[in-house]
Amino acid sequence: MKIKEIISVLETMAPLAYAEDFDNVGLLVGNQDDKATGVLVCHDALENVIEEAISKKCNFVVCFHPILFSGLKKITGKNYVERAVLKAIKNDIAIYAVHTALDNHQNGVNKIFCDALGLKNTKILVPKENFIQKLITYTIPENHQKLRNALFDAGAGNIGNYENCSFNSQGIGSYQGNENSNPEIGERGEFVENTEIKIEVTFEKHLQSKILKALFSNHVYEEVAYEIYDLQNSHQNIGLGMVGELEIEMPEKEFLEFVKTKMKAEGIRHSEYLGKPIKKVAVLGGSGSFAIKKAIQAGADAFLTADLKYHQFYESENQLLLADIGHYESERYTKNYIVDYLTKKIPNFAIILSEENTNPVKYL
């Protein structure tokens, strides 16, 4: 099995198009055409993790956080990033990062977080913007079903819990081909009016080339008339953070003790207790201060995230319990999820969970 075949599975789990624009995901180091000897899954691809991969005969490291986040002008081994990259290159080890591609997936980081706490009725906290496009095209009734089904097969027409969604209307189309035309209906130079079906479907924008390929391959016209629009609608199934509900509400202190146990947190910093029970909980793995207002708007009783600064605790505005459980802790089970996913998709292949704890934060 080649590394690129494993990458194909990873991109099914966490499509790179889901990642935030600032992020650096995908294959960071190595050659995708190399034969894979084994996969080591970790949280951070540090030098000690690369050494672990060498010892376990794995030449493909899949990490959550990208070890290469911004550009390198030199690779001399002067810092932890350069040392890890140098060791990987010297030992022909490829490194692949998923990060916000998995953060934004509805079954990714924040669903894993919710599942660890047993939250029910979960939904995205911060839906992804500017990610949906709409295709409008026109064809004859005889071609309508075939074309529409081809668009569905290419990924168009998925809305929330529904698939194969479209709007179809009938009207009269007109055209007149010049001397170089080859019309499906009518003759060159003839003014033609004909019954047509207008098809409207939405799709995730990263599928555009696939959608257009299906359109052109299955349309009967010599000149295909179509329009593509960017929609302002948020994507309700892709985005950062989640909000859900506990089976049974808890007092605030009991709730934080519960979170501390479930997420194996060594300490939790939190805002002032408000004296009300916790039922509805918002979560955002990693740095989530930007979503405090979203958690309040969602009606959450508590918001669990990480990397909160002093003044950001004031932003709870006495409307919810705000808790920083630690960056690593909030993403703790992500690597386990990746291992489970790859093991199910690629059975009888070495998929290994790293034993290295790469959490740089220690507690006294």
Question: What is the pLDDT, as a whole number, of residue 60?
Answer: 98
Contact between residue 228 and residue 133 where contact means Cβ atoms under 8 Å apart:
yes
Contact between residue 136 and residue 129 where contact means Cβ atoms under 8 Å apart:
no
What's the pLDDT tens digit per position in 237-285?
999 999 999 999 999 999 999 999 999 999 999 999 999 999 999 999 9
* pLDDT surpassing 90 at residue 23: yes
Task: Please choose, from the candidates 200, 202, 198, the residue with its C-alpha nearest in 3D space to the C-alpha of residue 231.
Answer: 202
DSSP string, 171-192: EEEEEE--TT---SSS-TT-EE
Residue 35 CB coordination number (10 Å):
10
Residue 89 CB coordination number (10 Å):
15
Domain ranges of the chain: 3-98+333-353, 106-128+238-325, 131-231
* pLDDT surpassing 90 at residue 72: no
Residue written as token pair 């934060």: 361
Q: How sure is the predictor about 185, in pLDDT bands with cuts at 50, 70 and 90? A: confident
Q: How sure is the predictor about 186, in pLDDT bands with cuts at 50, 70 and 90? A: confident
- Helix, strand and coil percent figures for the chain, each rounded to 5: 30, 30, 35
**3-98+333-353 and 106-128+238-325: identical CATH topology:** yes
* pLDDT surpassing 90 at residue 323: yes
CA–CA distance, 65 with 24 (Å, rounded to integer) = 9
Q: How sure is the predictor about 324, in pLDDT bands with cuts at 50, 70 and 90? A: very high
Contact between residue 304 and residue 283 where contact means Cβ atoms under 8 Å apart:
yes
327 is in an annotated binding site: yes
Query: 3-98+333-353 falls under which CATH superfamily?
Result: NIF3 (NGG1p interacting factor 3)-like (3.40.1390.30)
Cβ-proximal residues to 327 (8 Å cutoff; 6+ apart), any chain: 286, 287, 306, 307, 361
Question: What is the pLDDT, as a whole number, of residue 184?
Answer: 81
Task: Please choose, from the candidates 217, 232, 218, the residue with its C-alpha nearest in 3D space to the C-alpha of residue 134.
Answer: 232
Percent of the chain with pLDDT over 70: 100
Question: What is the pLDDT, as a whole number, of residue 309?
Answer: 97
Can you tell me the mean pLDDT for 66-71? 91
Can you tell me the mean pLDDT for 160-188? 91
In sequence order, the β-bridge partners of residue 49 are none
Question: What is the pLDDT, as a whole number, of residue 160?
Answer: 83
43 is in an annotated binding site: no
331 is in an annotated binding site: yes
Six-digit token string for 285: 């793995």
99 is in an annotated binding site: no
Greatest Cα pair distance in the chain: 85
CA–CA distance, 103 with 80 (Å, rounded to integer) = 24
Question: What is the pLDDT, as a whole number, of residue 71?
Answer: 82
Considering the entire predicted model, what is its pTM? 0.89
Overall fold of domain 131-231: Alpha-Beta Plaits (3.30.70)
Contact between residue 109 and residue 99 where contact means Cβ atoms under 8 Å apart:
no
For CA atoms 164, 165, 169, 173, give the dihedral sign.
negative
Point out the least confidently predicted range of 66-75, 164-173, 290-299, 305-314: 66-75
Side-chain-side CA neighbours of residue 200 (13 Å): 7
Query: What is the CATH architecture of 106-128+238-325?
Result: 3-Layer(aba) Sandwich (3.40)
Cβ-proximal residues to 102 (8 Å cutoff; 6+ apart), any chain: 13, 14, 18, 64, 108, 109, 334, 338
**What does pLDDT average to over the chain?**
96
* pLDDT surpassing 90 at residue 62: yes
CA 13 to centroid of chain Cα atoms: 8
Cβ-proximal residues to 41 (8 Å cutoff; 6+ apart), any chain: 61, 62, 63, 335, 338, 339, 342, 351, 352, 353, 354
Point out the least confidently predicted range of 25-34, 71-80, 118-127, 264-273: 71-80
CA–CA distance, 154 with 88 (Å, rounded to integer) = 37
